[in-house]
Amino acid sequence: MIKDDIRSYFPILNQEINGHPLVYLDSAATSQKPIQVIEAIKNYYEFENSNVHRGVHTLGNRATDSYEGSREKVRKFIHAKSTEEIIFTRGTTTALNIVAQSYGRANVGEGDEIVITYMEHHSNLIPWQQLAKEKGATLKYIDLESDGTLSLDKVRETITDKTKIVSLTFASNVLGTINPIKEIAAIAHEHGAVLVVDGAQGVPHFKTDVQDLDCDFLAFSGHKMCGPTGIGVLYGKKAHLENMDPVEFGGEMIDFVGLYESTWKELPWKFEGGTPIIAGAIGLGAAIDFLQEIGLDTIEKHEHTLSRYTMDQMHTIEGLTMYGPHDPAKRSGLVTFNLDDVHPHDVATVLDMNGIAVRAGHHCAQPLMKWLQCTATARASFYVYNNEEDIDRLVAGLRTAKEYFADVFE
């Protein structure tokens, strides 16, 4: 049973930073880890550590059971049909690169189109930029509405019969916009294109059902959902994955190796060359257990409440600009903003001196910063362990920053 005081599960929150109790508002960069995840990794190293899929010995079986058990947890979590469709990767970036380098190279040719949006994180932009350059394909961007949302009309205008891949984020790491994945998947499929979803900012925050969304690929990271760093997931429809070549070759992923020819293991292992990220996968499994015990609907509701509260409070600060959809119900749990002419780095330093951790910079989304016509912004992002007191501290910190820099810009 998860206690009501969810914060008590996160040992890191119980400390002072620069003389103040820590307020962690940077979960979109990486989330904190509950004791259950830390213990699961510790337990693996203390009692199960050995290599998977090869040993005859008992420890090897234990490790394999735990590792493959996590795969089944991931399958259930995103409602995939089979564990054959769940590939463990280093993170979202690696997962998206596998799609670009394997599916992309085989299916995109000269004159074809790849469609993305202006709100993509660099990890869902550069792999497609590189693929387009390599193949002589065209990279097209779906324009955004003035509030940072996508209109389905513009999606329809941009995707054509030449489009082979549509790739977009589930939720924007800057604007907080949640995109209509299911509708866009349908449009992509009408034109014979596949839909790739960057789920890094979505999967941790609301219920994800890949069969309902009907996306072809979904990538996400463990560390943004209470899991450890270095583990992520690529989901792909079996029909696609079966026809795709591995991008990494070596141990673990082979079936038969000859002097001049080799064959690959069946799915999903043909994409997992080398000793896999065993402890990471086990940690991710524990994180999924933790999130499911709280309930994804509860998490989503909690974040909406915090976003609404934050936006209401921030509206009372004169000179503060917020970016993204105005309606908190259309946003994930983050608020990106700028305070007057104070540079976001300076805002973040003042907040840090008050024990408050926020992100400042371009958030790995330089084309989006250009679209917003700013070079940098500050961002507060929430997760299960944040509460209204954290927001009150943030707002007080912002008022301090405003006062502190007031005479500079008078």
Partner 1 sequence: MSLNNLDQLYRSVIMDHYKKPRNKGALEGSNVTIDMNNPTCGDRIRLTLQVNDGIVEDAKFDGEGCSISMSSASMMTQIIKGKTADEAQKLAHIFSDMMLGKDYDDSIDLGDVEALSGVSKFPARIKCATLAWKAMEKGVQDESENK
Catalytic residues: 364
- Closer to partner 1 by Cβ: residue 180 or 367: 367
Q: Provide the minimum distance between the beta carbon of 366 and partner 1 in the complex, in angstroms, as a whole number.
A: 7
- Closer to partner 1 by Cβ: residue 25 or 384: 25
Q: Provide the minimum distance between the beta carbon of 116 and partner 1 in the complex, in angstroms, as a whole number.
A: 21
Query: Residue 4 has which token pair?
Result: 């009501």
Provide the sign of the torsion angle of the four alpha carbons 50, 52, 54, 58, taken in this order.
positive
**3-state per-residue secondary structure call for 73-117:** HHHHHHCCCCHHHEEEECCHHHHHHHHHHHHHHHHCCCCCEEEEE
Q: Provide the minimum distance between the beta carbon of 291 and partner 1 in the complex, in angstroms, as a whole number.
A: 30
Q: How far apart are CA 252 and CA 272, in angstroms?
A: 7
- Go through the chain and tell me how many residues it has: 410
Where do contacts with partner 1 occur on this chain (CB under 8 A)?
18-20, 343-346, 349-350, 352-354, 360-362, 366, 369, 375-376, 400, 404, 407-409
- Closer to partner 1 by Cβ: residue 186 or 374: 374
**Pairing relation of β-strands 334-339 and 377-381?**
antiparallel
Burial of 274 (C-beta count, 10 Å sphere; 0-12/13-18/19+): exposed
Burial of 317 (C-beta count, 10 Å sphere; 0-12/13-18/19+): middle
CB contact at 8 A, 246 and 269: no
Q: Provide the minimum distance between the beta carbon of 349 and partner 1 in the complex, in angstroms, as a whole number.
A: 6
- Closer to partner 1 by Cβ: residue 277 or 342: 342
Q: Provide the minimum distance between the beta carbon of 225 and partner 1 in the complex, in angstroms, as a whole number.
A: 24
- Closer to partner 1 by Cβ: residue 252 or 346: 346
Using alpha carbons only, give the angle 41, 237, 194 rounded to the nearest 5 degrees. 120
How large is the C-alpha radius of gyration of the chain? 22
The number of C-alpha atoms within 13 Å of 145 and in the hemisphere containing its C-beta is 13
